[in-house]
Structure 1
Amino acid sequence: MFDSILSFLKDLPGNSRQTALKPEDDPRVAAAALLFHVLDADGIREASEVEKLKETLSSTYNVTGAELEKLLRAGEKAEQEAIDLYAFTSVLKRHLDADARKAFIGLMWGIVFADGEMHELEDNLVWRVAELIGVDNRDRVILRQEMQEKYAKS
């Protein structure tokens, strides 16, 4: 299921290599910004979380090298300049269908559990993003449990 959704994410408008990376119209930057936000939610930036973020963006958007670094810089800058989550969640809600939005919440959980633990601020942030992009509580909890189990076995 996630493979087909990730394939959809790769084919999003704005996924062209020539597209300017602007959070107000590029879902890749919005996604990167939200992933940076959850990565930093507990106040500790673990190397495992940063590596998971890079891996997630690279595989989801099929970017590597300089292009990946550009996306990382744009996402981190957008996250630092943001006033609220709406700037990013509105972009994702506009560009993603329901299954892709659900898959994005799975990506967020992957960042949360990359360091082996979940902080209450991370949990709260994923809950708020899920609400804003229209992912119901049941799906959010199921995705959390799936990712928690996956990382517990790693």
Structure 2
Amino acid sequence: MRQQAIGLESQPVTMEVEKGAILRFAEAIGDLNPQYTDEAAARKSMLGGLVAPPTFLRSVRGVNLELPFELSFSRRLDGGSDWEYFQPVRPGDRITAVARIGELTERAGRLGVMVFMTTVTTYSNQFDEVVATQTNTLIAY
């Protein structure tokens, strides 16, 4: 199972970042930083214009890994995620996300066998610059 999974990649998912989506996202999370909400103020900043809040990339949907086997556990738990940011995400960017299985381990727990699966999702812009990576852990038991 482990050999089949490690390195497996998802199909790429691409989204175009819209200015309105950035503004709505910033409003929804309650972060009214002018860098995300005020174009005039953002243009005067060192970034030179509006950028998306770092957590905006959580809104990229449809990144699915098709496993070559069945995980026959009825419960799944999000074991947390770590993010690294490298470039700002701007209105008009085309962000492509690709997930890859980095690790798969099995452990014994109170309720029986648990499988820990670590995936690394890489987010790149239209210039093939990596803007961020997310390392996520899924626990199945």
Q: Normalising by the residue count of structure 2, what TM-score does the alignment of the two structures yield? A: 0.24
Structure with the higher strand share, 1 or 2: 2
Structure with the higher helix share, 1 or 2: 1
Bigger Rg, structure 1 or 2 = 2
